[in-house]
Amino acid sequence: MSEPLHIYLIAGEPSGDVLGMRLMEGIKSLCRDRDVVFSGVGGPLMAGSGLKSLFPMEELTVMGLAEVLPRIPKILGRIRETADDIAAKRPDVVVTIDAPDFCFRVSKRLRGTGIRVVHYVAPSVWAWRPGRAKKIAALVDHVMCLLPFEPPYFERAGVAATFVGHSILESGADKGDRQAFRERHGIGADERMILALPGSRMSEISRLIDVFGETIRRTTAIVGPCRVVVPTLPGISGQVRIRTSDWDNTLIVDDAAQKYDAFAAADAAIAASGTVSLELAMAGVPSLIAYRLSPLTGFIAKRLIRVKYASIVNLILDRPAIPEFLQENCTPEAMTPALVDLLRPGANSPAQTADIEKALAALKPSDELPSVTAARVVLGVAEGQTA
């Protein structure tokens, strides 16, 4: 009987925990005739799939300079502890999931040990600082990419890379229950409903929420009353309630189970740039995307960012199928006409729907789930079949 396959995974934030859990389940589905042992660092979802975390993943889920600085000594200690644990366990492969600041420091400590490392979620070297690809190539043996145009950037730098498909396709964003959400919250079947999604971090919410509020106020002055729903996270919902307390007819929803039901119930959305734009596209919600960095960061970003669009849908199509309002264009004056237009009957035209379907289809390299494709790559590296 063959030895169990030992796979070490590292996730540093909730999104990585989701990816890790799906990857673990994908690996188990492909290894029905062989035992698999998982170890590493992960959250509750990965724990539910059989991983006992070396330490609580929440220790790594820190955002912003003010939060990180006091914890640097502990984080550096966790980097050493994780690398030492890997060296002692000698797994068949290590899978680092996003969280590059932590994961690449662990990978650097593993150089020369002969332990193979796969990184899941390619950093956006195509958007800015392309030179990072060479640095990453020196730290890992394989990169698993979520976007179809990413592998060449890493292959040119000398590291194997595979487009495995975007994890959002497994999210269920297109499976929401419109009627259930509206009935639960007393929203009439014919009542217009706007989603406001100003981000998941207080730093971006602080820059966007007042702009979103004024845009919605101006929009409803033109089209008439609308229910406004703000899906958010439990940890920040209190602050979001305070910041939206002067909004009319507004509901804050911090129950993750209702998120996609809210998407299904919406007639239009105004959202921060990010993965949520893909979720809205999957759910078929007419949307506009907005983002605003701090003045200094925006000044620097303009000189570093090499792409025309922020939305993945627009990047894939190479045209603005989803309206974008970034930096100086992120104003109520600019966004109000667009949001009004999204609320008109037939805003989701057949042509727009076809555009979005084309973009989403490009995010899946095969008929199997992205997590299963990723599992095949990991197993290939673990068994020495691929670089």
Q: Where are the domains of the chain?
A: 5-165+365-382, 178-361
> Are 5-165+365-382 and 178-361 in the same CATH fold?
yes
The superfamily (CATH) of domain 5-165+365-382 is Glycogen Phosphorylase B; (3.40.50.2000)
Residue 303 pLDDT exceeds 50: no
> What value does the mean pLDDT of the chain take?
89
Count CB atoms within 10 A of the CB of residue 139: 20
Q: What is the pLDDT of residue 123?
A: 86
Count CB atoms within 10 A of the CB of residue 385: 10
Residue 131 pLDDT exceeds 80: no
For the segment 128-133, the average pLDDT, to the nearest whole number, is 74
Greater pLDDT, 346 or 284? 284
Q: What is the pLDDT of residue 347?
A: 74
Residue 229 pLDDT exceeds 90: yes
pLDDT tens-digit map of 107-125 = 999 999 999 999 999 987 7
Q: What is the pLDDT of residue 292?
A: 79
Rounded (5°) CA angle 26-28-33: 135
Q: Which residue has the tokens 């008929």?
A: 367
Check: CB of residue 84 under 8 Å from CB of residue 100: no
Looking at the structure, give the CATH architecture of the domain made up of residues 178-361. 3-Layer(aba) Sandwich (3.40)
Greater pLDDT, 349 or 133? 133
For residue 240, what pLDDT band results from cuts at 50, 70 and 90? very high
SS3 state of residue 235: coil
pLDDT tens-digit map of 31-47 = 988 899 999 999 999 99
Q: Which residue has the tokens 């797994």?
A: 91
Residue 301 pLDDT exceeds 50: no
Q: What is the pLDDT of residue 293?
A: 64
Burial environment of residue 286 by CB neighbours within 10 A (0 to 12, 13 to 18, 19 or more)? buried
Q: Which two tokens stand for residue 287?
A: 């949307």
Q: What is the pLDDT of residue 227?
A: 97
For residue 304, what pLDDT band results from cuts at 50, 70 and 90? very low
pLDDT tens-digit map of 366-385 = 999 999 999 999 999 998 86
Greater pLDDT, 274 or 360? 360
Rounded (5°) CA angle 349-309-13: 105
pLDDT tens-digit map of 59-115 = 886 644 445 566 678 889 999 999 999 999 999 999 999 989 899 999 999 999 999
Which amino acid belongs to residue 179?
Q
**Whole-prediction pTM value?**
0.84
